[in-house]
Amino acid sequence: MKIIECDGKLVCTLDGHFDTLQSQKLEDELKAHLKAPQSVVFEMQGVTYVCSAFLRVCISVAKIVGAGQFTLLGVTPPIKRVVKMAGMSELFVCE
Amino acid sequence: MSTEPGTIFERRFHNRHDDLSRVTAEAMRFIEARGVGDEAVYLANLTIEEMVTNILKYGYDDTAVHEIRLRLEIHPGTLRLVLEDDGHEFDPLKAPEPDINQPAEQRVPGGLGIHLIRKLSEQIDYERCGGRNRLTVRIRC
């Protein structure tokens, strides 16, 4: 997990398996960096698995930075399916 | 604790996150090695994690060690996953559905894991038997 702040944008490069414990670590890391207004990008190319705890982190980010300011990039098809089933496709960009 | 050869994986483990992580990883290696497809492996992983995390969070009032049982059976076209615990009676089929149409600021945490398993699995059955919860989830594979 790598978090870089640049020109008002927070870019989080994530990889691996985001189970409940790893999602908690992400949430803790983000607390130190996240502030509104700010756009946030999760680079997801290396992420192979997310659970509902990760999706709850995404909801929290969307709540803080506002609609349209949060993007998930490089999302694999199985994770896209989970995001869609959770009804979260409308909350942030997922591509 | 035992693993049978072939198409059945069984583990008994304690209500601890470390045990959950270890057993989940073993279960995924077991079904991957037997040719179960990526989508079913993902869903099996999600099911074990979401359901056992709920048991760890809400199943017990004490901090004592409790035993959770997992059984995975690989059948043609179907993965059958059975979880048993001695926690509070909890039928996930009766849990209220989260409102997934709310905007982010109105979303409330909770219920999302069960919602995902309901949506993505083929069939879920629950029974309370001998003071234990028994959840059976069928996953297309």
Widest distance between CA atoms in chain A: 33
Confidence of residue B55 (pLDDT cuts 50, 70, 90): very high
Classify residue B59: in a domain, yes or no: yes
Yes or no, beta carbons of B116 and A85 under 8 Å apart: yes
Confidence of residue A14 (pLDDT cuts 50, 70, 90): very high
* Per-residue model confidence (pLDDT) at position B1: 43
Residue with tokens 């004592």: B64
The Cβ of residue B75 has, within 10 Å, a number of other Cβ atoms equal to: 10
Q: Is A63 on the interface with B (CB under 8 A)?
A: yes
Q: Give the domain CATH number at B27.
A: 3.30.565.10
How many domains are there within chain A?
1
Yes or no, beta carbons of B112 and A63 under 8 Å apart: no
Q: Is B95 on the interface with A (CB under 8 A)?
A: no
Classify residue B51: in a domain, yes or no: yes
| pTM for the full predicted model | 0.92
Residues in chain B within 8 Å Cβ distance of A65: none
How many domains are there within chain B?
1
Q: Give the domain CATH number at A88.
A: 3.30.750.24
Long-range contact list for A8-13, CB < 8 A, 24+ apart?
A: A8/A37, A8/A38, A8/A39, A9/A38, A9/A39, A9/A40, A9/A41, A10/A34, A10/A38, A10/A39, A10/A40, A10/A41, A11/A41, A11/A43, A12/A40, A12/A41, A12/A42, A12/A43, A13/A43, A13/A46
A36-66 tens-digit pLDDT: 778 999 999 999 999 999 999 999 999 888 8
Residues in chain B within 8 Å Cβ distance of A91: 103-104, 107
A24-36 tens-digit pLDDT: 999 999 988 887 7
Q: Where are the beta strands (DSSP E) in B32-98?
A: 67-75, 78-85
Classify residue B97: in a domain, yes or no: yes
Classify residue B2: in a domain, yes or no: no
Residue with tokens 């992400």: A26
Is residue A21 predicted with pLDDT exceeding 80?
Answer: yes
Q: What is the mean pLDDT of chain B?
A: 92
**Domain boundaries, position A39:** 2-94
Classify residue B1: in a domain, yes or no: no
Is residue B51 predicted with pLDDT exceeding 50?
Answer: yes
Predicted-complex ipTM score: 0.90
- DSSP, res B97: P
Rounded Cα distance between B98 and B107, Å, is 8
**Domain boundaries, position B73:** 8-140
Rounded Cα distance between A30 and A6, Å, is 15
Q: Is A37 on the interface with B (CB under 8 A)?
A: no
- CA of A37 to nearest chain B CA: how many angstroms apart? 15
